[in-house]
Amino acid sequence: MAYRYVFGPVMSGRLGRSLGLDLLGGHICSMDCVYCEVGATRNLTLERRPYVSAAAILKELAAWKAEGLDTPDAVTLGGLGEPTLNSDMAEIIAGARALFPDTVIAVLTNATLMTDPQVRRELALADAVLPSMDSLVEAEFAAINRPCPGVTPQGVAQGLLAFRQEFTGKIFLEILLAKGINDSDENLGRLKTFCQQLAPDRVDVVTMTRPGTVKGTHPVDGAVLSRWRKALGAGKARTGERGEPEAGTLDEARTIEFVQASLARRPQTVLQLAQALGASPHTVRAAVEALERTGGIVARTDRGETYYHGSGHILEA
Ligand code: SF4
């Protein structure tokens, strides 16, 4: 079966072997972060809608399960934007849990919608929530995350603190630093106080490893990362970006290896592979082209999308 909304599984530093669900079907987000790998946000919105229906996602997830592959450590709601924008989220979490009762159900989120008690109630159905918070300094927040009008860092922080009170699962906070944008001491001081209040189960401080949406956005250097990690009591050192699996730092040869292994399991588009491996679409395309040349994978077009699969893998129509 060709999957549109199920991708991976990938190795995630925080979740283990994680099977991803795309709840958006396109780059729909409440932010337009300068470092976003998916590119510029196509639909900048706070409007909740069933962008991809629960039925469509759960049908694919059931099909994936029926293939009888190894059960993942986590099923992670994410995708090409902000998953809490999907108004079917609660149904998707419940359906994923019914299909994988012993698997962690996780949600990656930019936390902007946590100001809404309904969104918090829905998120509380998950086992783990992985929010991001890059700056508590308003001007920095605006510069790095470029959110929908009306979204403020203070509002997002209050939403997260309210959620902490209501949620019994794990919270893994992630902070991404971009040089000269949100790496100020003022931000570090505010985030330190915030982390003391939130008491997340884990904090990760990361930086960019690849160019973002906006030219001239640069990663911070290792010394800055170390200082921040120490100050915030962050988890094990790790470079990479938002929601990044460990494969994010792969060199070319390892990318080819991972792409081949992933395509042996299931057909995927270049974008799905990039998302699954935490690599840039450009890098993945190069790997796919190299594998096509050697005959290790083949391409097939399905409903206007080009899927690649291992040469021994039969794609359903
Ligand atoms: S990095 Fe995440 S929150 Fe930021 S624009 Fe991309 S999808 Fe949205």
pLDDT at 19 over 70: yes
pLDDT at 315 over 60: no
pLDDT digits (tens, 9 = 90+) for 105-135: 999 999 999 999 999 999 999 999 999 999 9
Confidence of residue 39 (pLDDT cuts 50, 70, 90): confident
Higher pLDDT, 281 or 15: 15
Contact 206, 242 (CB under 8 A): yes
CB atoms within 10 A of CB 201: 14
CATH code of residue 74 = 3.20.20.70
Comparing CA positions, the residue from 207, 200, 283 lying closest to residue 235 is: 200
Token duo for residue 232: 């915030």
* Atom of ligand 1 at shortest range from CA of 241: 1
Say how far residue 235 (Cα) sits from the centre of its chain. 18
Average pLDDT, the chain: 88
Contact 220, 205 (CB under 8 A): no
Comparing CA positions, the residue from 61, 52, 69 lying closest to residue 97 is: 61
Higher pLDDT, 36 or 128: 128
- For the chain, the first-to-last Cα distance in angstroms comes to 8
pLDDT at 106: 98
Distances (CA, A) of 182 to 41, 179, 216: 20, 7, 14
CATH code of residue 270 = 1.10.10.10
pLDDT at 91 over 70: yes
pLDDT at 11: 77
Q: Is the dihedral of CA 23, 29, 34, 40 positive or negative?
A: positive
pLDDT at 9: 84
Distances (CA, A) of 56 to 50, 159, 170, 276: 10, 30, 28, 19
Residue 81 Cβ inside 6 Å of ligand 1? The answer reads yes
Q: Which among 247, 277, 303 is the end of a domain? A: 247
Residues 6+ apart with CB under 8 A from 199: 164
Higher pLDDT, 209 or 23: 23
Domain extent at residue 300: 250-317
pLDDT digits (tens, 9 = 90+) for 208-222: 876 667 878 899 999
- Pocket mutation for ligand 1, best pick of 36, 80, 132 (most atoms within 8 Å of C-beta): 36
pLDDT at 245: 39
Confidence of residue 2 (pLDDT cuts 50, 70, 90): confident
pLDDT at 317: 27
Residue 31 Cβ inside 6 Å of ligand 1? The answer reads yes
Which of 42-56, 198-212, 271-285, 286-300 shows the lowest mean pLDDT across its residues? 271-285
Q: Which among 247, 262, 287 is the end of a domain? A: 247
Q: Which among 247, 263, 292 is the end of a domain? A: 247
pLDDT digits (tens, 9 = 90+) for 167-211: 999 999 999 999 999 999 999 999 999 999 999 999 999 998 766
User: How many angstroms does the Cα of residue 31 sit away from the middle of ligand 1?
Assistant: 6
Higher pLDDT, 304 or 84: 84
Are 235 and 259 in a shared domain? no
pLDDT at 314 over 50: no
Token duo for residue 70: 């190894």
Are 167 and 29 in a shared domain? yes
pLDDT at 246: 39
Residue 1: inside a domain, yes or no?
A: no
Q: Output b/e per residue, 224-261; b: 16+ Cβ within 10 A.
A: bbeebbeebebbeebebbbbbbebbebeeeebbebbbe
Are 219 and 91 in a shared domain? yes
Nearest CA to ligand 1 atom 6: 36
> Kindly report the CA angle at 212 between 208 and 213, in degrees rounded to 5?
160
Question: What does R_g of the chain's alpha carbons equal in angstroms?
Answer: 19
Confidence of residue 3 (pLDDT cuts 50, 70, 90): confident
Domain count, the chain: 2
